[in-house]
């Protein structure tokens, strides 16, 4: 799994952790993907991924999140991880509420990556 895909998967898990997927979250993810994906097809890909994630049991979702987290870590610099952590925080705070599920995932990310600087 490449770094962009790993980041995308983590953001999608975070965006769907509370059972909702808001336009603000969608916009942040699309912005993250930038020029890496065709903007004409990204909406369909995101909807397909959202449906797939919603069907997964929590333990499988956490396993997928950890795999993406480890893949991103192994391919990124400290600066990139710091920027990604900020983006992840912006994403989960976009609805002005951090759910228990979102908090669980973001804590795993901070715990695993440790100090970013």
pLDDT at position 97 is: 86
Q: What is the rounded CA–CA span in Å between residue 73 and residue 81?
A: 7
Residue with tokens 């509370």: 18
pLDDT at position 73 is: 96
Q: Long-range contacts for 54-58 (Cβ within 8 Å, ≥24 apart)?
A: 54/16, 54/19
pLDDT at position 117 is: 45
pLDDT at position 111 is: 93
- Domains of the chain with bracketed CATH: 3-113 (1.10.3680)
Residue 36 and residue 95 in contact, taking contact as beta carbons nearer than 8 Å: no
pLDDT at position 50 is: 76
Which residue ranges of the chain lie beneath pLDDT 70?
Answer: 21, 35-43, 115-117
pTM, full prediction: 0.85
pLDDT at position 42 is: 67
pLDDT at position 35 is: 62
């Amino acid at each position: 799994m490449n770094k962009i895909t790993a980041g995308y998967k983590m953001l999608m898990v975070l965006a769907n952790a509370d059972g909702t997927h808001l336009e603000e979250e969608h916009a942040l993810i699309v912005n993250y993907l930038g020029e890496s994906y065709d903007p004409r097809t990204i909406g369909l890909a995101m909807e397909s991924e959202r449906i797939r994630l919603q069907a997964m049991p929590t333990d499988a979702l956490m396993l997928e999140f950890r795999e993406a987290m480890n893949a991103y870590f192994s391919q990124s610099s400290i600066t990139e991880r710091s920027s990604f952590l900020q983006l992840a925080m912006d994403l989960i705070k976009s609805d002005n509420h951090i759910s228990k599920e979102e908090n669980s995932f973001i804590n795993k990310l901070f715990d695993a990556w440790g100090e970013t600087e």
